[in-house]
Structures are given as structure tokens and as C-alpha cells.
Amino acid sequence: MTDTSFLGPWIRRFLLEYLVDERNLARNTQASYRDALILLLPFVAESLGKQIDQLCIEHVSADIIRRFLLKLEQERGCCVSTRNQRLAAIHAMARFIGERSPEHIAWLTEIRSISFKKSSKPATMAYLDKPEMYALLDAHDRNTPQGLRDYTLLLFLYNSGARSSEAANLAIKDLDLGNSPSAKLVGKGGKERRCPLWPHTASNLVTLVVGRAPHEPVFLNRRRQPITRFGIRALVKRSAQNASRKLPSLRTKQISTHTIRHTTAVHLLRSGVDINTIRAWLGHVSIDTTHIYAEVDLEMKAKALAQCEIPAAALASVGHWTNNPELMVFLKSL
């Protein structure tokens, strides 16, 4: 057994050299690849009855990986896209090893032969109507510091359409709360964008950050630590449960931070904002990603259909063509 056959050193090089130094991938992408390996390695070790530090490259066989992917779907309840995401991380690691260790090219070929599973896109995209969004905002007591924080965070998500990670990483120095309030958001791939803020959003943010240092995060948890995207998701879920007591229609919807992001896009579209402006607002690279909001909005489809509808009076005035004498004369003259 040679040193190059041990899996541990390769994983270290993959995570630190390849993902960080060579590819300079975003931190969320690095975390996603790391999490895939955190799930995979204990599964392989348990399947073979070995310690994790004793694993070799050949132990991570194609058959074990297929069983691992099956476990993700059946036992952990992961969707197809999550399953494919984990497989992409495994493919990347195998390619990294195969390119630097020619004796493992055959192993690489076996791993890369595991194909991605085709996933169907959901027929509908969840979003909230304005009464539902207002009920979500009103689910908190703004007279308490915690309630004010929760309300301001939800209002900021609705105003900006920010992702949970973007809101969690928002620092006080990223806010411009002057005459034209705005917030600088850092999205996927480190792309920055400026999002305008409503005066009401800005005034609540001023109350939240007054007297604090510019480098501090805007949103803190109950322990006065920076809130994480998981904390934001828990807040949205808790808010939806409270709001559903007053508005039962919320019980039929799966509400997450991304639901609020979809809601922002749909409401902007209904207000007459063009699709390219919404693309920049949400930080989408391609307008094709944003165009889906125009397809899911039933209210706009109903308005478009109403404009094309033929009035009943017009239909009643149109008779059969054989009963039109002028038309019959014209046809006979041909």
C-alpha cells in the first residue's frame, strides 16, 4: 500500500488546494462540497467496517457511492437536486485525484460513470399574496427588541428579495440610510449589487443599528451573535406558524426565505416593473432565471386573457357566412 492510496491526504488537498487556491470558489460552494464528504466518509467507513482514517481511494467504489446516493433519497428524504449536488462534489473530488494520480484513472472512470438523475421542475412556484405577506410581517410584537428585530428582518427580505445568506452577511457599513436609502448585497460568486430600500425599511433599520460599530452584522440573534442563514430560516418558519392562526391560507403553503424572495419578484412584476430590472434586483446572472416569475403569476395571466376576450355581443352579431347575401354574390362572381 503506497502513500498515494490513502484517502485522507487527498481530501485535505482537494478542500484546501483545489477548491480554495486553484478554483477560488465561493465559501458556500466550499461548504457544500465539504458537507458532501462529511456525509459520504462515515457511510463508507460503516459499510466496510473500517475507521475513517484507514480508508483508501479504492474503498470509495462506484457501488458504495450508488448506495450512498440511494440512502440520501430514501432515508434522509433529500430531493433529486440535492442528490445530484452531492454527486457533483464526489465527481469533482474523483477528477482531482485522477488528474494528479494516473494509477487511479480507472477508478476515476468508474466514479464518473455514475450519472446524474433527471429531476422535474415544480409545476408551480410558491409565493405569497399581499395579505399573506402582511400577515407574516404582523406576526411579531414590535414593542419588544426581539419582535422589532424579527419584523425588520422580514421586512428587509421582502423589500430587497435577498437570499438568507445575503441577509445574514449584511454589515452595518453596507447600509446607506440617507436620503436615498439602499443596501449593498453580496450574492453568489461574490457579485455585489445595490438594492433600494423603502423609507419604512430604512427607519426600522436605523432603530436596529443605532449606536453600533460599522463592521458589526446588522442582524443579531438572541445571544447578540451574528444570525446565521439557518436562524433566518427558523424565524421565517416560526413567523408562518404564528401568522397561519389568523390567515388559514398560509397553512397550505410551504414558506421559506426563498418564498419571500419569490414574493418580492412577483409583486414587482405585478407593479409594472420590467423583467430586466427584476433580474438586477434579485442578482440573477441570466434573465431566463427571472422569466419564470412571469410564467407562474396567475393574476397577470388572467388580466392578459381578459384583454383578449371577445365580447359576447360581438359573437352574437356574427351569423353564418351562408346567410350573408353580399358575400354569396361575391363568391358566385369569382
Give dist(CA 160, CA 155) in Å, integer.
8
Q: How far is CA 68 from CA 74, 78, 136, 237, 307, in A?
A: 10, 12, 39, 30, 53
Contact 55, 41 (CB under 8 A): yes
Pairing verdict, β 175-176 and 192-196: unpaired
Neighbours of 240 (CB within 10 A): 22
Choice among 83, 86, 104, 163 that is catalytic = 163
Cβ neighbour number for residue 296 with a 10 Å cutoff: 18
Catalytic annotation present for 258: yes
Q: Contact at 8 Å (CB) between 255 and 241? A: no
| Helices and strands (DSSP H and E) totals, the chain | 16, 3
Catalytic residue among 258, 262, 267, 284: 258
* Catalytic residue check, 163: yes
Using CA atoms, how far apart are residues 326 and 333, in angstroms rounded to an integer?
11
Q: Which residues pair with 194 in a beta bridge?
A: 184
Query: Using CA atoms, how far apart are residues 166 and 193, in angstroms rounded to an integer?
Result: 11
Q: How far is CA 39 from CA 69, 72, 77, 92, in A?
A: 10, 9, 14, 16
**Set of cell numbers at residue 318:** 356574427
Cell of 214: 460599522
* Catalytic residue from among 104, 261, 267, 284: 261
Catalytic residue (one of 34, 91, 188, 237) = 188
Active site residue 320: no
Is 261 known to be catalytic? yes
Give me the sign of the Cα torsion angle 99, 37, 232, 204. negative
Q: Which are the catalytic amino acids?
A: 163, 188, 258, 261
